[in-house]
Amino acid sequence: MQHAAILECVSEAMSVHTTAREQIACARVKVKALPDYGDFVDNLVDEAIQSLVYDQRHRQNCSIKYTGDTGTSGAAESKVKVGGCKAVADAYADYFSYTVGGKRLADVYGEELADLADAEMVQSQGHAAKAALFRSLADVVRPGKQVKDAVSGARLKRMFEAAGI
């Protein structure tokens, strides 16, 4: 099944309905009627599994960042010896399990680090730009109003550009 066919179903649903709930329900009916629906479901399951793996890796990273604990049953093996006792050494070894760029930090080569740093910086700048956009919109859109009712398309375009998006 081509993603284009699915996107067409979604576009049609969005052109007919205004709420996300209605759009999703309509698109679901349209997608289920497509001839390659079974293959599509298989692909979705594969993507869901991939998403769960990345989600778990993220949770592990957050756990390391905020508690020093990977939440796994064992620490990464480290060549670096630290601390005066096993508990301290194990806590530091866990940091080698931090995942970035699709792999454990312990397995990253020196020549990969600059590219990883650049990729992380690009992502952070995107988050900062969206935050700037949302702050400028918050100054304009009053409570109880929606963005589409408070800002013209031309003004929204200028706000996107001012935020660097």
CA distance 129 to 123: 10
Per the structure, the complete domain to which residue 142 belongs is given by: 109-165
- pLDDT, one tens digit per residue, over 119-144 is 888 888 888 888 999 999 999 999 99
What's the pLDDT score for residue 14?
A: 93
pLDDT for residue 27 is more than 90: yes
Token pair for residue 162? 């001012």
- pLDDT, one tens digit per residue, over 62-102 is 776 666 554 444 444 444 444 556 666 665 556 777 777 77
Instruction: Please check whether residue 53 lies inside any domain of the structure.
Output: no
Please, which residues have CB within 8 angstroms of residue 106's CB and are 6 or more apart in sequence?
A: 76, 77, 78, 96, 97
How many domains, in total, are found in the chain? 1
Instruction: Please check whether residue 35 lies inside any domain of the structure.
Output: no
pLDDT for residue 24 is more than 90: yes
Residue 127: count of CB within 10 angstroms of its CB = 9
Instruction: Please check whether residue 79 lies inside any domain of the structure.
Output: no
Token pair for residue 24? 């999703």
Instruction: Please check whether residue 41 lies inside any domain of the structure.
Output: no
pLDDT for residue 153 is more than 60: yes
Instruction: Please check whether residue 55 lies inside any domain of the structure.
Output: no
DSSP per-residue codes, 62-78:
HHHHHHS--SSSSPPP-
CA distance 99 to 59: 10
Please give the sequence-ordered ranges of beta strands (E in DSSP) within the chain, or none if there are none: 99-100, 103-104
CA distance 95 to 66: 11
Amino acid (1-letter code) at residue 71? G
Instruction: Please check whether residue 57 lies inside any domain of the structure.
Output: no
Rounded to 5 degrees, what are φ and ψ at 78? -120, 140
